[in-house]
Amino acid sequence: MLLSIAWKNVWRNKLRSLIVIIAISLGLVGGIFSAAVMKGAAKDGVRGMIDNYISEIQIHQPLFKLNNETKYHIKNSNEFEKNIKNIEGVKSVSSRLKVTGMASSANSAVGVSINGINPEQEKLVTTIYKNILDSSGTYFETKSRNPAIISKRLAEKLKLRLRSKIILTFPTSDGSQIETAFKIIGVFKTTNSTYDKLNIYVNKSDLARLTGYSEDVSQEIAIRINKEASIDSIKSKISKNDSTLLVETWKDLVPTLAMSSGIMDQMILVFLIIILMALGFGIVNTMLMVVLERIKEIGMLMAVGMSKIRIFFMIMFETIFLSLVGGVIGMSISAVLIGYYNINGITFSGLDEAFEKFGYPTTIYPELEPTVYFTLSFLIILTGIIASIYPARKALKLNPVEALRSDA
């Protein structure tokens, strides 16, 4: 009975209720959708970083990580690589000869990380090959002496073009420096400008020859794993294989990336709570109007024997219903919008530059875990309950005689 009266009371002043409901829905659509965009962006950003650069797991000599010196390498890396490939859940492996050096053109010079790779293997690990720009060459398919792939950003910085020569200076195995010309046969671009500027890809065989290392040596082994596989169990299996090596997951490698997705969830929650609080004030205001309008009716209800508790709950239920209707509409619209853009993507043109700086993709596929809707439903009900307390207390303070006598 109380519930049914409360529900019917919501629709007494249809216009006013609709305005509140629309406000709640719009507020929530705005909040939920932006949350999904943030979440989608963060997730795509993480995915992009893993796909293009860092992979799920990387292996180094601990000292190589510390000072990037080439001499701290993994010996017998082909054998080691085979062992890793045998671990269940490992999808692909690439072992790289990696040196830190200088890239220079007639115009300028910058420090770079030179990755000596086996292109066929590397294709199974990183997606740089997919990011070769149109009419900007190929991924090691063009025949050339000392071919190199560099990013568009580095090319721009050094004022180089496809088929230009790029001079790479790097240390050899005996500690001396070597300066060699490479030919740019491909230009790529990913969403992460920092990594783009830093990395150059050359054939492992070329780099081995020039540095004097064997091709069975590598400074870095990158590992991709299957979707369902457990990254931590694979990590520990690799560590067992050779305990002297440093085995790191992407979370270890780029802690900020892992952290940002955790922080994101909390931020989204805080963000939604703030929106609900703002809406809550609007609800309080509306319910105060409701109580004021119904002073006589509430007085009558008290007079004929409706207890204060019941009156309190009647107003609380009405507030909850009002909030929930708005909430359900808002969440439904959000779910539909998110569903649509999750498939079709949203492109934020104009913001490309800013997004890329942080390693975020320019086309975003918003997404939100279904659990967020449950949390939200709970929060909306809570908002209704909290928003009803003040108006309901106002109603309880009424004295039936005065309420019935009032002119309202």
The residues binding another protein (CB under 8 A) are 1, 5, 8-9, 11-12, 296-297, 299-308, 310, 400-401, 404-405
CB of 283 to another protein, least distance (A): 20
Q: Which is nearer to another protein, 237 or 296 (CB)?
A: 296
Find, among 10, 34, 5, 7, the residue nearest to 20 by Cα.
10
Measuring CA to CA, how many Å separate 133 from each of 115, 149, 151, 186, 276? 19, 11, 9, 8, 45
Q: Which is nearer to another protein, 307 or 347 (CB)?
A: 307
CB of 299 to another protein, least distance (A): 8
E-strand stretches of 105-142: 109-117, 132-137
**β partners of residue 103:** 110, 168
Do 330 and 28 touch, CB atoms closer than 8 A? yes
Task: Spell out the residues 6+ positions from residue 321 whose beta carbon is closer than 8 angstroms to its own.
Answer: 6, 7, 10, 384
CB of 39 to another protein, least distance (A): 42
CB of 9 to another protein, least distance (A): 6
Measuring CA to CA, how many Å separate 120 from each of 73, 108, 127, 128, 177? 22, 32, 12, 12, 29
CB of 5 to another protein, least distance (A): 6
**Backbone phi, psi, residue 135, to 5°:** 45, 30
Cβ atoms within 10 Å, residue 200: 21
Q: Which is nearer to another protein, 245 or 306 (CB)?
A: 306
Q: Which is nearer to another protein, 133 or 404 (CB)?
A: 404
**Backbone phi, psi, residue 274, to 5°:** -65, -45
Q: What angle do CA 335, 340, 341 make, to 5 degrees?
A: 100
Q: Which is nearer to another protein, 269 or 404 (CB)?
A: 404
DSSP 255-268: HHHHHHHHHHHHHH
Q: Which is nearer to another protein, 7 or 348 (CB)?
A: 7
CB of 289 to another protein, least distance (A): 16
Q: Which is nearer to another protein, 97 or 311 (CB)?
A: 311
| Helix runs in 212-351, H state only | 231-241, 250-253, 255-293, 295-303, 308-344
Q: Which is nearer to another protein, 171 or 400 (CB)?
A: 400
CB of 315 to another protein, least distance (A): 14
Q: At 171, is the secondary structure helix, strand, or coil?
A: strand
CB of 305 to another protein, least distance (A): 2
CB of 307 to another protein, least distance (A): 5
CB-count burial class (<10 Å; 0-12, 13-18, 19+) for 399: exposed
Q: Which is nearer to another protein, 228 or 407 (CB)?
A: 407
